[in-house]
């Protein structure tokens, strides 16, 4: 029988699972929020993932449910599990990707390296944390944040007034002095097998991933080993199935601290489509179906991925193809089928080769020709 994977969410992550599903000969069904979503080609249901009836009907007949995003309410996830649907990653793992306070508590309990942090219940809590951490810190809403949303740098308690007024659960973290940001992706299947890709460097701009260099320069040896150990500990201890992305700070005093977790394919793994023997999307499908995982070696000495953002230039992405494709015949383009609203991720470009500077240049050149804000 052909295995059937149901993906909740119709964004670009679901879209990029489609080629992997075709290659493996498995059926992919998508629950999309809207008509014309990025993964619309595989959408069998258009509806609200926060509606239990919609999700239960979508899940009928699938072998496993997985996700394009982490926002499905816990109550619905629990109902799915109660009804015998395989949900991967499971509700208990996803909870920690949904709630940064619970995530910090759990990682701290596991002895994993995290920034200093505290819950914030009152303005006084925040003031106390600021006093003991040099007067500047990072305030986060526990839930609902992504791509820089729900995160702000604060220097006084007034900076939390609106969020406290709204009753958001908040946490505060030390402002980490980091040299760079890294990401370690691994995949884990229910039977326990874990594989990882090389640790990568991610360059953020305005809170959004802009560029990824794989592997992270000068990461061989200790950094690579520590990053992999952290990610495998998180995946095993939290019982994550599928792809897990661990975003890390490399501090100026040579420590690695866990920043965020994502329990799904992740922007920092898009390079694997062209740069690794097994892409994160294929691996995610293999993992959630409990199939043997694929090899994760690099196909090039260096791979560089640059996001393409919608920008002030008008017209669709495809209007800019003739110039971009002619200029950069070696760069691989991945379009997300989205309207090019300013600042929105509408695609990415990946280049590979032996000379990092030259590879970066090619990927940036292609992205710059495709989206006006990507060149940076």
Annotated binding site: 100, 140, 173-176, 181, 259-260
Q: Which of residues 39-78 bind a copy of itself (CB under 8 A)?
A: 41-42
Among 23, 53, 61, 148, the residue binding a copy of itself under the rule CB under 8 A is: 23
Among 47, 145, 169, 294, the residue binding a copy of itself under the rule CB under 8 A is: 294
| Displacement of CA 364 from its chain's centroid (Å) | 21
Closest CB 28 distance from a copy of itself, rounded Å: 8
Q: Which of residues 296-325 bind a copy of itself (CB under 8 A)?
A: 297, 299, 316-319, 321-322, 325
> H/E/C letters for each residue in the chain?
CCCEEEEECCCHHHHHHHHHHHHHCCEEEEEECCCCCCCHHHEEEECCCCCHHHHHHHHCCCCEEEECCCCCCHHHHHHHHHCCCCECCCHHHHHHHHCHHHHHHHHHHCCCCCCCEEEECCHHHHHHHHHHCCCCEEEEECCCCCCCCCEEEECCHHHHHHHHHCCCCEEEEECCCEEEEEEEEEEECCCCCEEECCCEEEEEECCEEEEEEECCCCCCCHHHHHHHHHHHHHHHHCCCCEEEEEEEEEECCCCEEEEEEECCCCHHHCCHHHHECCCHHHHHHHHHCCCCCCCCCECCCEEEEEEEECCCCCCCHHHHHHHHHHHCCCCEEEECCCCCCCCCEEEEEEEEECCHHHHHHHHHHHHHHHCCCCCC
26 makes contact with a copy of itself (CB under 8 A): yes
222 makes contact with a copy of itself (CB under 8 A): no
Among 19, 47, 73, 376, the residue binding a copy of itself under the rule CB under 8 A is: 19
Binding-site string for a copy of itself from residue 336 to residue 375, where x marks contact by CB under 8 A and - marks none: xx---------x----------------------------
Closest CB 295 distance from a copy of itself, rounded Å: 4
Binding-site string for a copy of itself from residue 270 to residue 289, where x marks contact by CB under 8 A and - marks none: -------xx-------x---
Q: Which is nearer to a copy of itself, 42 or 263 (CB)?
A: 42
Among 8, 11, 15, 107, the residue binding a copy of itself under the rule CB under 8 A is: 15
Q: Supply the angle between the helices 74-82 and 91-98 in degrees, to the nearest 10.
A: 170
Q: How far is 160 from 152, CA to CA, in rounded Å?
A: 9
Among 335, 363, 367, 368, the residue binding a copy of itself under the rule CB under 8 A is: 335
Nearest one of 177, 184, 238 to 212, comparing CA atoms:
184
Q: Which is nearer to a copy of itself, 76 or 243 (CB)?
A: 243
- Candidates 76-84, 100-108, 200-208, 333-341 — which segment interacts with a copy of itself by CB under 8 A? 333-341
Q: Which residue numbers belong to the known binding site for ATP?
A: 100, 140, 173-176, 181, 259-260
Q: Which is nearer to a copy of itself, 83 or 299 (CB)?
A: 299
Q: Which of residues 146-165 bind a copy of itself (CB under 8 A)?
A: none
Among 171, 172, 293, 366, the residue binding a copy of itself under the rule CB under 8 A is: 293
Closest CB 15 distance from a copy of itself, rounded Å: 6
Q: Would you say 183 and 266 are in contact if contact means Cβ atoms under 8 Å apart?
A: yes
Among 291, 356, 360, 375, the residue binding a copy of itself under the rule CB under 8 A is: 291
Q: How far is 18 from 285, CA to CA, in rounded Å?
A: 10
Closest CB 240 distance from a copy of itself, rounded Å: 20
Q: Which is nearer to a copy of itself, 252 or 316 (CB)?
A: 316
How many binding residues for a copy of itself (CB under 8 A)? Answer: 41
Specify which residues 343 forms β-bridges with.
none
Q: How many other β-carbons are positioned within 10 Å of the β-carbon of residue 331?
A: 24
List contacts with a copy of itself (CB under 8 A): 1-3, 15-16, 18-19, 22-26, 41-42, 277-278, 286, 291-295, 297, 299, 316-319, 321-322, 325-326, 329-330, 332-337, 347
């Amino acid at each position: 029988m052909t295995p059937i994977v149901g993906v909740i969410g119709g964004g670009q992550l679901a879209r990029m699972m489609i080629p992997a599903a075709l290659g493996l000969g498995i059926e992919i069904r998508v629950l999309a929020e809207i008509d014309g979503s990025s993964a619309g080609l595989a959408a069998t249901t258009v509806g609200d993932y926060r509606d239990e009836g919609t999700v239960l009907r979508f899940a009928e007949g699938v072998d496993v449910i997985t996700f394009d995003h982490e926002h499905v309410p816990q109550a619905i996830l629990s109902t799915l599990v109660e009804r015998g649907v395989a949900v991967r990653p499971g509700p208990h793992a996803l909870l920690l990707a949904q709630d940064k306070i619970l995530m910090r508590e759990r990682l701290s309990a596991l002895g994993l390296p995290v920034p200093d942090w505290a819950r914030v219940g009152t303005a006084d809590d925040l003031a106390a944390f600021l006093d003991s951490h040099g007067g500047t810190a990072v305030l986060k809403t526990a839930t609902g944040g992504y791509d820089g949303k729900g995160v702000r740098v604060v220097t006084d308690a007034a900076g939390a007034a609106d969020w406290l007024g709204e009753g958001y659960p908040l946490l505060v973290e030390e402002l980490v002095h980091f040299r760079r940001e890294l990401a370690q992706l691994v995949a884990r299947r229910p039977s326990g097998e874990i594989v990882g890709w090389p640790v990568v460097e991610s360059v953020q701009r305005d809170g959004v991933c802009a560029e990824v260099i794989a592997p992270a320069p000068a990461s061989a040896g200790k950094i690579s080993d520590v990053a992999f150990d952290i990610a495998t500990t998180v995946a095993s201890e939290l019982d994550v199935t599928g792809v897990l992305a661990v975003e890390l700070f490399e501090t100026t005093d040579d420590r690695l601290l866990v920043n965020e977790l994502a329990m799904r394919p992740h922007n920092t793994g898009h390079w694997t489509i062209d740069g690794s023997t097994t892409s994160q999307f294929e691996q995610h499908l293999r993992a959630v179906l409990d199939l043997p995982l694929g090899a994760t070696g690099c196909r090039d000495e260096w791979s560089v991925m640059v996001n393409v953002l919608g920008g002030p230039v008008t017209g669709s992405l495809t209007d800019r193809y003739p110039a971009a494709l002619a200029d950069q015949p070696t760069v691989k383009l991945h379009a997300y089928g989205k309207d090019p609203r300013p600042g929105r991720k509408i695609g990415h470009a990946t280049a590979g080769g032996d000379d990092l500077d030259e590879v970066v240049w090619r990927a940036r050149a292609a992205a710059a020709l495709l989206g006006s804000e990507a060149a940076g």
